[in-house]
Amino acid sequence: MSPGRPTARPARFVLALRPWVGALLVFLGARSAAAGPVVLLRSGNLGPYVAAADGFRRTLRDPVVELALGDLPPRELERRIAQERPDAVVVIGLKAALFARDHVSRIPIVYCAVQNPEENNLVGAWITGVRTEVAPESELAALRQAVPDAKRVGVFLGPATDDKMRRRVRAAAAAGGLGLIEAPVTNLGDLATTARDLVPRVDVLWMPADPVLASPEAFRFLLELSLRARKPLFVFSDALVRAGAYAGLSPDFGRAGELAAQAVLRIRAGERAGDIPVARARGAHLVVNEGTAKAMGRKVPDLLRGVAEVLP
C-alpha cells in the first residue's frame, strides 16, 4: 500500500459529506434567521390596509406583532419596535412607511400599499416593498365606464401628488373628453370647505389614493357628502365600495400583502432588503355598489354586468 492511500479515503469521505453539510448549514441558518418576530405597522384601519395585512398573515403563517400609528406616542412606538428586535418591519400605508423610514434604524423595512415610494425616499439598503399603484389613465377609463353620463370630474389632490402625476391626470381626462376640476387638499382641515365648494361644479367625485385622503374620517365625510348631493364617489379600493362608495378601481391589496410576506421570507433566508427587487401587485378590478346607485336614483350601466363586480 502506498503512503498516499490512507489520505485518499478521508478526502473522498469529506467530499461526499459536503452536500449534507451544506444542507445542514442552510437548515440551521433558516432556523436561526426565523427566530425573531415580525412587526406589522399599519397607517390605520382603512379597508385596503386591512386587506393587505390579511394577505400578509395568510402567507407568513408566523406570529406577528401588530401595531398601528396612533396606538402609542411616536417615541413609545419607536421603543416598542426596538424592544421586539424584529427580523423585519412591514409597513402598510405611506404614513407608517415614513414613520419607519425616520424612526427605525438597521432593521429591514418592507412597505406595502404605498403610492410613489421613490418620491417619498423609500429606497436604500434596508428597504424593499410592493407597489400597488393603478395608473390614472386606467382609473379614469374605469370611471367613465361606471359613470358614462359624467362630463365634469372633481378630483381631490393631496400634497403627495407631484407635478408629473398632475400632468398625467390632466392628460388622461382630456383624452377621455372629461372636464377636470382639481381640488387641492393640504390636510383634513381643508377637506370640508374644499369638497363643499367642489360638489355643485361636478358630476362625479374622484378620491384617489393619498395619505391625507386615505383615512376613515376623510372617507366618511366624502361618502356622506356624495349621498346627500347624489354625486357618485369614485374611490381606490373595493373595501370603500363595500362601505358605501358608488364605484372604484381596486388593486389586489391582499395579493400585495402576500408579496410583502414573500419579501420577509427572503430576508429571513439571508438576503439584504435593498437587494430584493420591489414587487408589483398587478391587476385591478372595477367594483360598483348597486345599493348606493339606487339610493342616488341611478342605474348601474348594463355593460358593466359581467365586466365589473356589482355588489347588491
pLDDT at 17 over 90: no
Residue the block writes with cell 373595501:
239
Domain count, the chain: 2
| Residue 97 or residue 283, greater confidence | 97
Distances (CA, A) of 238 to 137, 242, 258, 278: 18, 6, 18, 24
Residue 79 is part of which domain span? Answer: 33-133+253-283
Q: Are residues 216 and 231 in the same domain?
A: yes
Report pLDDT for 3.
44
pLDDT at 239 over 70: yes
Q: Are residues 185 and 225 in the same domain?
A: yes
**pLDDT, average across residues 244-250:** 96
Q: Are residues 57 and 153 in the same domain?
A: no
Q: Indicate whether 218 belongs to any domain.
A: yes
Q: Indicate whether 5 belongs to any domain.
A: no
Burial class for 81, CB neighbours closer than 10 Å (0-12, 13-18, 19+): buried
pTM over 0.85: no
**pLDDT, average across residues 239-248:** 95
Q: Indicate whether 14 belongs to any domain.
A: no
Q: Are residues 98 and 164 in the same domain?
A: no
Task: Encode pLDDT of 190-200 as tens digits.
Answer: 899 999 999 99
Q: Are residues 216 and 238 in the same domain?
A: yes
**pLDDT, average across residues 88-109:** 94
Task: Encode pLDDT of 30-66 as tens digits.
Answer: 434 445 899 999 998 888 899 999 999 999 989 899 9
Q: Are residues 257 and 110 in the same domain?
A: yes
Q: Indicate whether 17 belongs to any domain.
A: no
Q: Are residues 307 and 196 in the same domain?
A: yes
